[in-house]
Structure 1
């Protein structure tokens, strides 16, 4: 089974920190099959599990960037109901616009710059 982008990042982090599915699952009090399902996309990735996985790796001094965004892509959904109307409208407009790869890269760069300035 192919890994999702979320799964690739989590698997690399496991390998980098010396954990297997079994050892990580024991610490997170779940099964290796469940973690494998999250990595391969066979299971949707709940927000609380993104947080658990982030916390797990932070406790190992291995921070993962953009894990929630990778989970959203793997899940093929993004919840917008809790966002202000202006953001919902931007998301809808963005999703239906025929941007080129270069335009998308520029948007991503701009968003990254804006987010860095807020830190």
Structure 2
């Protein structure tokens, strides 16, 4: 299934008359690798935002759209737990594992708690 990043790239290719293989060549990867990234089977490499922006001379608006598409398309997120207690790590991981199973009311409650805490710090 095409991710937001994949949709962005497809539109970018169409607008620039490029095929998938053309963009893959510019990114110095195979067509199958680019396709896997666009379809969410692999994360977008961290250097691709600036590389695509440079290759296609993206406007600031398009650059921001690309950044948002990359963030929305991430399948795997790495977290640094260096300063977290074992209990906090376990709580965060439990939330991540169980999040899909929560109903919308519980998700809203969690978001409200997080927003309340974030706003309380400012």
TM-score (norm 2): 0.56
1:13, 1:43 → 2: CA distance? Answer: 20
- Structure 1 pair 95–76 and aligned structure 2 pair: CA distance change class (3 A): farther
1:74, 1:50 → 2: CA distance? Answer: 13
Unaligned runs of 5+ in 2: 81-107, 113-122
1:112 corresponding residue in structure 2: none
1:107 corresponding residue in structure 2: none
Root-mean-square deviation (CA, aligned residues, Å) is 3.0
2:34 corresponding residue in structure 1: 35
Structure 1 residue 64 displacement after superposition? 4.0
1:26 corresponding residue in structure 2: 25
Structure 1 residue 54 displacement after superposition? 1.9
Unaligned runs of 5+ in 1: 82-93, 99-119
2:13, 2:19 → 1: CA distance? Answer: 6
User: Superposed, which structure 2 residues align to 1:1-119 within 5 Å?
Assistant: 2-58=1-57, 63-76=62-75, 96-97=110-111
Contact 2:43 2:76 in 1 (8 A): no
Structure 1 residue 42 displacement after superposition? 0.8
CA displacement 1:15-71 (0-9 Å, x = unmatched): 110001111222222111111111111111122122212222217xxx443212211
1:70, 1:95 → 2: CA distance? Answer: 26
- Structure 1 pair 27–95 and aligned structure 2 pair: CA distance change class (3 A): farther
4+ aligned runs moved over 2 Å, structure 1: 63-66, 76-81
Query: How many equivalent residue pairs?
Result: 84
